[in-house]
Structure 1
Amino acid sequence: MSNYSINEFIRQTKQDDTENDYFELETPRILEVNLLDQVWAKAGSMISYNGGIKFEREGILEHGVGRLFKKAVTGEGSSLMKATGRGRLYLADQGKKITIFDLDNEAITVNGNDLLAFEPSIEWDIKLMKKVAGMVSGGLFNVTLKGSGRVAITSHYEPLTLLVRPGQPVITDPHATVAWSGHLEPDFKTDISFKTFIGRGSGESIQMEFEGDGFVIVQPFEEVHTTGSQ
């Protein structure tokens, strides 16, 4: 058989029917959800599904007025959708690399733009980074997830984890920061001396500073968050 035949291509790229875990990496950039009940996912991330699955945007009363207000204030496209039913669901986000975490009574905070999906057993809350709202294009928000269950996040290319140790703070670019330990509270600072070098030509460089004991995940890409982005 030719290495370039359609049959050979199908053999190499077809879905793996032997997988039945709740979250599976079908490829490094496509998440398979073996849905038995429901899952929360980033709105617009569905690329394919089979079976009986219904999709709906986060309901107005789903998580109370407070979260909706915070979402409206950010002006960001952090909309979540709820997929309910039984079947196989395939999720992706602009070809970004996907990482799965199996939380065991743990917490992780994820940049709202980098959250792909999570199990309904996970508690979540949207938090606006008030100190940088207005300073960064489109503002910044994050989602804190805690409890036990699977969480899938995305990054542009391969992520790097930086360890935060007492007395050894880690400073990152907000646009390259993907996630961090749920108990860490980043501080924000501006560095006017960076103004000439950042290439954006608008104001100071905004930096995130993490202190304490934990980790920060960064990506080799500065993702500019624009209002209404998905």
Structure 2
Amino acid sequence: MSFFRKLPVLSIALATLSAPALAADLSELQKKGTIRIAVANEIPYGYTDLEGNAKGAGPEVIQHLMKNLGIEKIEWQTTNFGSLIPGLRADRFDVVAAEMAILPQRCDQVLFSEPNSSYGEGLLVAKGNPKNLQSYEDFKSGNHKVAIMAGADQLEMMQELGVDESLLVTISANADAISTVATGRADAYAATGLTAAELAKQSDKVELA
């Protein structure tokens, strides 16, 4: 894949406030000793297991940070990726512990931490890759449909490539990707390489391009 972007791990729901206001809110959280943190159930970035325990890169980093800040209790919340920033702005949680690309339109709404990781892009395709899809550029011409998770920056990538809007299939969560590709609703699912690889492990009907 030709795309490679940096990711942040956390964003704070105080983007429109001044630095003193931000410090005051941090003090309030420290005084309470409790913080609400959201993940998008995206393996391996941030998700909860069957026992409700938070796992993945984002939760590991934020748990270490909260310990250093003296905040002992974390209330984990799970939501769709596309609801992370709206939920943050609506005060449904205080922090997002999900790997999310730093984009200008997102920076207008929330604050981001320093980047903590980077990633390459991937494609999940039907078993045997019948359409021989190898990169995002393959969707620039022809009539191949590509699925994208709502709120994900793969949409912007496809738009930059000039992919026709009629060929873009929006799904609400990664969990829908396997059935979307396996049933032919879309010819591929565009996601990070790690996400696509994890999904490919879950079904013999799909594979990593």
- For the superposition of Structure 1 and Structure 2, which TM-score range results when normalised by the shorter chain? under 0.3
- TM-score, normalised with respect to structure 2: 0.25
Instruction: Name whichever structure is richer in helix by fraction.
Output: 2
Higher strand share goes to which structure?
Answer: 1
Determine which structure has more spread, i.e. the larger CA radius of gyration: 1
> Which has the bigger relative contact order, CA under 8 A and spacing at least 6?
2
TM-score by length of 1: 0.23
